[in-house]
Structure 1
Amino acid sequence: MTDRPPAFRIGDLRRHSRRPALAPAPPGAVSLAMGEPDFPTPPPVVEAAAAALRAGHTHYADQKGLPALRAALAARLPGRPGRTWTADDIVVTQGATAALAAVVLAMIGPGDRVVIPEPAYSLYADLVVFAGGTVDYVPLAPDLHWDLDALAAALPGAAMMIFSNPSNPTGIVHREQELKALGDLLDGSDVLVVSDEAYHRLVYPGHVMTSALEIESLRDRTVYVQTFSKTYAMTGWRVGYLTGPRAVVDAAAHVHRTYNGSLNTAAQHAALAALDLPDGVVDAMAETYRQRRELVVAQLSGVPGLRLTPPEGAFYGFLRYDAALPSEVVARALAERKVLVRAGIEYGPSGEGHLRISFAASEDDLRTGLARIVRHFGDEGYPAPAIR
């Protein structure tokens, strides 16, 4: 057996990453940790994959994705003056994870600084570290929207900014005026914006989703990352895609074909079928998430020592607790009470003192898990943090 250590980038990841290796909930436990729809994939999508297999679509596809799928995706992008989206503007990827990896590895190298407003999805920072770049965390404002003054101080000289909208883990929907303000801050710079809009169909009443591609001052510098996973309950199918400035798209396509090759052909036929689903199929799932969101807000409101900013989109609640304990310790203690959640520190320094709860779980599991959380904080009588 060799004693040769792994590459130094793996050492960097092990030192910096807080992302847990997730596993199914043990017997008797409920999981509010997974960002995965609990709905089955809609039957027409499954049937399209089966039909593709029966028809012999079992070989390599175009490495950028099936032309028909890319053309269908291009036709659904927001219109833009002076440019018509085409299939050549799209790269179909191994889920949004591979789309994010492709653009970061294509555009970031040693010494490049990447601004990440945080708390943020932990994959972003891990990818920057893997590419050899430097993560520049910028804390959010108290309402969990962007602190524009802090961004104004951090963005000069940066190579890239990455964010999700709606946000994982906070459930915030960044408003049109926030996006326009970001465009103003970036005017005259060459900062690349990566907008992960995986939860774009999950926005709750009173809030409006605006894509970065719809903002004139952002559209020419934005890489748009999307996935079929959340909207269509297709996490295991691993179909994502990206678009943006052509030079960036071409570079990301080169990375993706080097790391991943072509995507599963039958899964791409399934994705085409998903695009043809009636709006009511997605709307029904979104309505269920809305009802669960109301349940989360109702169950956690008024609980001493716990505070929740009501989610505006996605299917996460970012729960703040007053106990003077690290979030990883609290998450482990809750696991012992048979409810799994994610520690807030996973999502950046400002995530400490928080837990992320996913309500992409059945109502029964959600009620059970929330009751165990509330009981835990009531039973433990956690010490309050020191006054500063």
Structure 2
Amino acid sequence: MKPRRLYSPGTIAHHPTSQSRTTMTLESATAVVNGFQPSEAVQRVLRTSLRVQQPQSKGDLVSLAMGEPDFDTPAQVRAAAAKALEEGHTHYSPLLGELELRKELAARIGQLLGGVASSSDVLITQGGTAGLSAAILGIVNPGDKVVIPDPTYSLYADLVSMAGGTIVPVPLAEDLHWDLEALADALQDAKLFVFCNPSNPTGIVHSRRELEALADLVAGTKTLVLSDEAYSDLVYTPEPFVSALEIPGLAGRTIYCQTFSKSYAMTGWRVGYLWGPSEVIKAAARVHNTFNGSMNTAVQLAALTALMTCGPDIERMHASYAARRELMVAGLNRIPGLTVSSPEGAFYLFPKYDVDMPAAEMVAHLRDFGVAVRPGSEFGRNGENHLRLSYAASAEAISLGVERLAAGLAALR
């Protein structure tokens, strides 16, 4: 039997037909790519999304655009992650998340409920973003009606579009709280209502009275409520923050979404969680397990350390945000033509300007004056003529940024 010839890579390269074959393969691949169309789910998001990607900051540009704490993650949390890795916690975690972390979260959720929350109804997610994604994609069918405030965090609408749902935006009242009459009309036959409290981008906090009014509006319906409470530790009102979980009239229909990103300055760690009705969490877990798989084990153990030890760190950061908030409010109130909202929570202000210029153009104009902010229109059509400013920045950056914003607006008068 004639032995089979084995070719080295170099020999194959000189095969008489290899070049023509390679050319044909590249041409075929180009033809395939040139004819490619994204899935209908992606195209729906592309058609409807209001989210914008700003150019990377350069030079001495002052950014008041980032919704991210400028604090480092507390030292003991970083140490806990390092210790977990040294101890060999480098393998797959259970798909719902580490049981010890889920038990601690369930205990805290139970305190809000005034009852018992099962750890089996807690899903640890790849940040709050993956939690929102898992919940919405696990609930919404094509054609389902989903109500969102306008303006609000822009990810909600994108996820509803991806699921094929119908987005029903509801304009806010003049004080940026819910217009309950408009909300009542919009909620008719809705599958889901999604909101954040405290609010991104407006910085307002929905009170117990508002949440109880929402409960009255959905009573006797099958409407689910998704409450994104990422900023719940960052509240500056005289009254304590009230979670949707504390409202008896919302029991049995509320999906609670949280993240470690804001309270614990852990944005880059990507750890969040969901809790809600068992069947909803099972559906969300199926989505999350398909898209993401299980969470990083060492990060979950670090998150548990954050829960158990970071109370003083939260208080320290809260005090700093409160001082920065006052600094920004005072500076903005001195700028002619700006209407400054009451910043009740989170770390955002949402001033309205009186210049006849779309928000996206205004943001580009202000960059020329050395300050980056976000356009209000990114968060909904009714955010037009507003800017979102973040005071999760140093006092120096806030002072200089507000000064440059004033100069930019003055140049348009």
TM range (shorter): over 0.9
Report what 1:109 is aligned to: 141
Question: CA separation in 2, counterparts of 1:238 and 1:150?
Answer: 36
Aligned match of 1:276: 308
| 2:24 equivalent in structure 1 | none
- Amino acid of the residue matched to residue 331 of structure 1? V
For 2:322 and 2:355, how far apart are their aligned partners in 1? 29
Question: What CA distance in whole angstroms lies between the structure 1 residues aligned with 2:137 and 2:310?
Answer: 36
Which has the higher Rg, Structure 1 or Structure 2?
2
Q: Which residue of 1 aligns with 2:409?
A: 377
CA distance in 1, matches of 2:159, 2:210: 25
Contact 1:109 / 1:133 at 8 angstroms: preserved in 2?
A: yes
Normalising by structure 1, report the TM-score: 0.96
**C-alpha deviation, 1:81, in angstroms:** 7.3
Amino acid at match of 2:374: R
- Asked if the contact 1:109–1:131 (Cα under 8 Å) also holds between the matched residues in 2, the reply is yes
State the Cα distance separating 1:283 from its structure 2 match. 0.3
Matched position secondary structure for 2:389: strand
Which of 118, 131, 134 is the aligned partner of 1:99?
131
Instruction: State the Cα distance separating 1:277 from its structure 2 match.
Output: 1.5
The answer on whether the counterparts of 2:51 and 2:378 sit within 8 Å (CA) in structure 1 is: yes
In 2: Cα distance, 1:132 partner to 1:79 partner: 36
Q: 1:256 aligns with which of 288, 300, 321?
A: 288
Residues in 1 aligned to 2:258 and 2:300: alpha-carbon distance in whole angstroms: 14
Alignment of 1:34-183 (within 5 A): 34-79=66-111, 84-183=116-215
Aligned-residue offset at 1:142: 0.6
Contact 1:180 1:215 in 2 (8 A): yes
Question: How far did residue 206 of structure 1 move?
Answer: 2.2
Structure 2 counterpart of 1:229 = 261
Work out whether residues 297 and 308 of structure 1, in 8 Å CA contact, stay in contact via their aligned partners in 2: yes
Q: Secondary structure at the match of 2:312?
A: helix
1:9 aligns to 2:41 (yes or no):
yes
Render the CA deviation track for 1:87-115: whole Å, top value 9, x for unaligned: 10100000000000001000001100100
- In the other structure, the counterpart of 1:347 is 379
1:350-378 Cα shifts (integer Å, max 9, x gaps): 10010000111111111111110011111
- Does 2:320 correspond to 1:296? no
Paired residues of 2:102 and 2:119 also in contact (CA < 8 A): yes
The Cα of 1:86 is off from its aligned counterpart by 2.2
RMSD of aligned alpha carbons: 1.3
Deviations 1:125-173 (A, max 9, x none): 0100011001100001111111000011110101000000000000000
TM-score (norm 2): 0.90
Any idea what the Cα deviations from partners look like across 1:26-78, whole Å, max 9, x if unmatched?
12111111100000000000000000000011111001110011011111114
Q: Match for residue 18 of structure 2?
A: none
Task: Please give the per-residue CA displacement for 1:165-184, whole angstroms capped at 9, x wherever unaligned.
Answer: 00000000000000001000
Q: Please give the secondary structure, in 2, of the residue aligned with 1:331.
A: helix
Equivalent residue number for residue 210 of structure 1: 242
Q: In 2 relative to 1, CA 11–164 (structure 1 residues): closer, same or farther, beyond 3 Å?
A: same
1:316 aligns with 2:383: no
Aligned amino acid, residue 332 of structure 1: A
Given that 1:173 and 1:208 are in contact with CA atoms closer than 8 Å, whether structure 2 keeps it comes out as no
CA distance in structure 1 between the partners assigned to 2:113 and 2:155 by the alignment:
33
Deviations 1:169-214 (A, max 9, x none): 0000000000001000111000000000000000004243100000
Deviation string, structure 1 residues 1-50 (Cα, Å, up to 9, x no partner): 21211112212211211212356521211111110000000000000000
Rounded to whole Å, the distance in 2 between the matches of 1:57 and 1:12 is 40
* Structure 2, gaps ≥5 residues long: 1-29
Please identify, of 291-300 and 9-18, the stretch whose mean Cα deviation from structure 2 is larger: 9-18
Counterparts of residues 177-192 of structure 1 (less than 5 Å): 177-192=209-224
2:57 to 10, 21, 25: 25
Corresponding letter in the other structure for 2:128: A
- Give distance in 1, aligned partners of 2:369 and 2:45: 30
Q: Distance in 2 between matches of 1:342 and 1:13?
A: 20
Rate the CA distance shift 1:101–1:280 in 2: closer, same or farther, 3 A: same
Identity %: 51
Distance 1:157 1:342, change over 3 A: same
C-alpha contact (below 8 Å) 2:63/2:371 kept by paired residues: yes
Going from structure 1 to structure 2, the CA distance change for 1:206 and 1:88 (only over 3 Å counts) comes to same
Gap regions ≥5 residues in structure 1? 382-388
CA contact (8 A) 1:173 1:207 kept: no
The 1-side partners of 2:328 and 2:341 are apart by 11
8 Å CA contact 1:195–1:223 kept in 2: the answer is yes
Question: Amino acid of the residue matched to residue 186 of structure 1?
Answer: V
* Preserved CA contact (<8 Å) 2:113 2:246: no
Q: Could you tell me how far 1:79 is from its partner in structure 2?
A: 3.5
Query: Which deviates the most, 77-86 or 305-314?
Result: 77-86
The number of residue pairs the alignment matches comes to: 381
Among 298, 301, 310, the alignment partner of 1:266 is 298
Contact between 1:78 and 1:214, CA under 8 Å: does it hold in 2? no
Q: 262, 268, 272: which is aligned to 1:240?
A: 272
Change (3 A) 1:150 1:77: same
The amino acid that maps onto 1:123 is L
**Offset from partner CA, 1:280-303 (integer Å, 9 cap, x none):** 211010000000110111001142
8 Å contact from structure 1 (residues 114, 136) kept in 2 = yes
